[in-house]
């Protein structure tokens, strides 16, 4: 008996003689399988099969994708700006060299027979706001051919001293920067008795010092003193009776001006649509509800066209081509996302920004998540909001342009509304809605009011701010999509 034969299954034998129909059929099927992907219809069929075979993304997966895309976009924006600055500086240097060349012969200088340089020092303030003490020590040496190979002949010693702050823990400490906090939210006093400093406060300043170490060793521009000391405290609080958790952060406020939504804003200025720095996305997003296209798509399609033309140019370097291909992939992914999803608009929607490391943290019940409700306290006013976007891990205290302008009418994308550490961010972890959708400012206000009620309520005579919808009416008619279906934009 054959040891490889399965028991109970007889070996099939081909009949002798006649045309091998079965073999021929298998051969034709194989040819068809190979040929189908080469046709346009075949490609669409395979794409649909592949999409159906892919597991459906959970809400957590979508959140993580949104946050990581947002972080990637900010990094790209930073490095593209640095590259533009380098190019600008190089062009300026070339202009200065050309001007010097046209100036003619240099003037005759007096003869010098010996070294006259002496040791000297100075104290200046760097652009980052750090006092910089310098001293150049000069002494006579040997022959240049000898000194140039001596490691000790040309040495720079550089020490950066920085003090890492302690967090505020008591109401008295918090009221040094926000005197009305206890009156606005009287329940905080009891909660602060057992307050715990969030691990993310220490992680924030660890990230800052690590960044300083990296930048200092390369003698690049350092994190500014202002941005180093941008956070007074982060506290984990819990109400003793309701057990409602609160993440409290005391910081400044910078401005974020990203986001787009064709359903609510069908047109945007050309300066934004064609900008290489404006990001159409926010971490908080939801399925599109109409067929009105996102206005940012056209600008991103133009950028793909420009990239393809540069790829085809004869003088484009291999390194640049690799960067362009990567950029095209990124832009295509973004366009697909804009076709099927909508996002907050920083100019119109009130939201705050939290570091991506907190938004993606697991195991910390106090760490805010995208969509959690929040209240911004400044002066004697309280503003309802949500956690709408993710920011860098070495900096905190950001909000949308709409929120910033409410605190300071002079705020802009280039001007922060509050430079002092006088803004209190009260976030209610675990409060986000199961289903995301377009902003409903009144619903946000009501829900924030309910959450504040669970931590002692508002002070006497205090009310939450009422946001008004400032969005212009869409010029294009919005075509509703049946619930549960995803709109298709051809």
Q: Is 130 part of any domain? A: no
Point out the residues of the chain with pLDDT beneath 50: 1-17, 24, 28, 31, 34, 79, 475-490
Same domain, 333 and 367: no
Q: Is 108 part of any domain? A: no
Same domain, 376 and 321: no
Q: Is 161 part of any domain? A: no
Same domain, 254 and 351: yes
Last residue of a domain, one of 342, 358, 389: 342
Q: Is 269 part of any domain? A: no
Same domain, 357 and 406: yes
Same domain, 332 and 393: no
Same domain, 176 and 292: no
Same domain, 320 and 379: no
Q: Is 435 part of any domain? A: yes
Domain housing 307 = 286-342
Predicted pLDDT at 142: 82
Q: Is 397 part of any domain? A: yes
User: In the chain, how many domains are there?
Assistant: 2
Q: Is 317 part of any domain? A: yes
- We report the CATH number of the domain holding residue 230 as 2.40.40.20
pLDDT tens for residues 58-69?
555 555 665 665
* 3-state SS track over the chain: CCCCCCCCCCCCCCCCCCCCHHHHHHHHHHHHHHHHHHCHHHHHHHHHHHHHHCCCCCHHHHHHHHHHHHHHHHHHHHHHHHHHHHHHHHHHHHHHHHHHHHCCCCCCCCCCCCCCCCCEEEEEECCCCCEEEEEECCCCCCCHHHHCCCCCCCCCCCCCCCCCCCCCCCHHHHCCCCCCHHHHCCCHHHHHCCCEECHHHHHHHHHHHHHHHHHHHCCCCCCCHHHHCCEEEEEEEECCCCCCEEEEEEEEEEEECCCCCCCCCCCCCHHHHCCCCCCCCCCCEEECCECCCCCHHHHHHHHHHHHHHHHHCCCCCHHHHHHHHHHHHHHHHHHHHHHHEEECCCCCCCEEEEEHHHHCCCCCCCCCCCCCEEEEEECCEEEEEEEEEEECCCCCCEEEHHHHHHHCCCCECCECCEEEEEEEEEECCCCCCCCCCCCCHHHHHHHHHHHHHCCCCCCCCCCECCCCCCCCCCCCCCCECCCCCCCCCC
Predicted pLDDT at 103: 59
Predicted pLDDT at 86: 57
Predicted pLDDT at 341: 96
Same domain, 204 and 301: no
Same domain, 194 and 291: no
Same domain, 400 and 351: yes
Same domain, 361 and 334: no
Q: Is 484 part of any domain? A: no
Same domain, 439 and 300: no
Last residue of a domain, one of 307, 324, 342: 342
């Amino acid at each position: 008996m054959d040891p490889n034969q399965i028991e109970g299954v007889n070996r099939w034998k081909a009949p002798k003689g006649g045309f091998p129909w079965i073999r021929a059929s298998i051969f034709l099927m194989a040819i068809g399988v190979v040929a189908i992907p080469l046709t346009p219809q075949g490609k669409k069929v395979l794409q649909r099969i592949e999409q159906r075979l892919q597991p459906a993304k959970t809400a957590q997966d979508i959140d993580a994708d949104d946050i990581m895309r947002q972080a990637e976009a900010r990094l790209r924006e930073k490095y593209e700006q640095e590259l533009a600055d380098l190019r600008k500086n190089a062009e300026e240097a070339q202009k200065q060299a050309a001007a010097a060349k046209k100036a003619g012969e240099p003037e005759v200088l007096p003869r010098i027979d010996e070294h006259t340089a002496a040791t000297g020092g100075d104290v200046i303030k760097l652009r980052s706001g750090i006092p910089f003490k310098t001293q150049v020590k000069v002494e006579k040496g040997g022959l240049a051919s000898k000194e140039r190979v001596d490691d000790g002949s040309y040495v720079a010693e550089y020490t950066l001293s920085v003090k890492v702050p302690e967090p505020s823990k008591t109401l008295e400490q918090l009221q040094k920067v926000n005197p009305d906090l206890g009156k606005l939210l009287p329940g905080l006093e009891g909660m602060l008795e057992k307050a715990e400093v969030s691990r993310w406060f220490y992680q924030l300043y660890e990230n800052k010092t690590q960044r300083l170490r990296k930048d200092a060793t390369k003698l690049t521009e350092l994190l500014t003193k202002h941005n180093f000391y941008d956070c007074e405290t982060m506290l984990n609080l819990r109400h003793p009776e309701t057990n409602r958790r609160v993440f409290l952060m005391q910081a400044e406020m910078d401005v974020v001006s990203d986001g787009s939504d064709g359903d609510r804003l069908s047109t945007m200025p050309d300066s934004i649509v064609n900008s290489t720095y404006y990001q159409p996305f926010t971490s908080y997003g939801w399925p599109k509800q109409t067929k009105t296209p996102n206005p940012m798509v056209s600008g991103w399609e133009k950028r793909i066209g420009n990239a393809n033309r540069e790829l085809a140019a004869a003088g484009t370097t291999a390194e640049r081509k690799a960067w362009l291909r990567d950029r095209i992939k990124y832009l295509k992914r973004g366009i697909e996302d804009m076709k099927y999803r909508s996002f907050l608009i920083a100019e119109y929607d009130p939201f705050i920004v939290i570091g991506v490391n907190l938004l993606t943290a697991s195991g910390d019940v106090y760490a805010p998540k995208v969509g959690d409700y929040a209240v911004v306290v400044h002066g004697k006013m309280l503003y309802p909001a949500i956690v709408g976007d993710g920011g860098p891990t070495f900096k905190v205290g950001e909000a949308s342009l709409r929120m910033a302008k409410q605190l300071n009418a002079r705020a802009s994308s280039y001007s922060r509304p509050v430079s002092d550490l006088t803004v209190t961010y009260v976030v209610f972890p675990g409060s986000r809605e199961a289903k995301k959708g377009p902003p409903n400012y009144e619903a946000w206000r009501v829900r924030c009011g309910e959450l504040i009620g669970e931590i002692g309520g508002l002070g006497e005579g205090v009310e939450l701010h009422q946001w008004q919808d400032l969005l212009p009416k869409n010029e294009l008619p919005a075509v509703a999509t049946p619930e549960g279906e995803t709109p298709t934009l051809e």
